[in-house]
Amino acid sequence: MIVKALRVGLGQLIIFIDFITRPSKKKRPAEAQAQVEQAARSLTLYQFHACPFCVKTRRTLRRLNVPVALRDAKNNEQDRQALLEQGGRIKVPCLRIEENGETTWMYESKVIIDYLDKRFSAA
């Protein structure tokens, strides 16, 4: 009971700190931003709202100005089941990448952030 209350409190603290220190969005010409938005349609981030690794990943998405669909794998049973059945495990953050008719499930915030930086930093 105390551990759960502590976890919830820390989660809310993480969300608050993220809110007050949120990075600014990358500025791009309209055409380049449209290309980024088109590419982002093939991405979905499965996450827990207060997970520190998910917050870190969402901060990167904001910094790079990449509008990725977010799925709540904690509170939405359909999203949780999709993550388990299609991704293979309930572990967040998980980036679902749909390219060339194939779906890749990428786990680990560091791996996801590296992928996003390589794919969208230059754009």
pLDDT of residue 123: 67
Q: What is the pLDDT at residue 3?
A: 86
In order along the chain (123 residues), what is the average pLDDT of each group of 10 residues?
85 89 93 95 96 96 97 95 94 96 96 97 79
Please give the pLDDT value at position 122: 80
Are the beta carbons of 59 and 112 closer than 8 angstroms? no
Q: How many Cα atoms are found within 13 Å in the side-chain-facing hemisphere of 89?
A: 7
Q: How many domains does the chain have?
A: 1
Beta-bridged to residue 94, according to DSSP, are: 46, 107
CATH of the domain at 10: 3.40.30.10
Q: Which residues of 6-18 are buried (b: 16+ CB within 10 A; e: fewer)?
A: eeeeebeebeeeb
Q: Please report the pLDDT score of residue 9 as a whole number.
A: 87
In this structure, is residue 6 part of a structural domain? yes
Does residue 105 form part of some domain? yes
Is 29 domain-assigned?
A: no
For residues 90, 37, 123 and 110, what is the CA-based torsion angle, rounded to 10 degrees?
A: -10
Q: What is the pLDDT of residue 8?
A: 83
- Structural domain containing residue 45: 2-23+34-120
pLDDT digits (tens, 9 = 90+) for 7-33: 888 888 988 998 899 999 999 999 999
Residue 111 lies in a domain: yes
Any domain includes 59: yes
Tell me if 28 is assigned to some domain: no
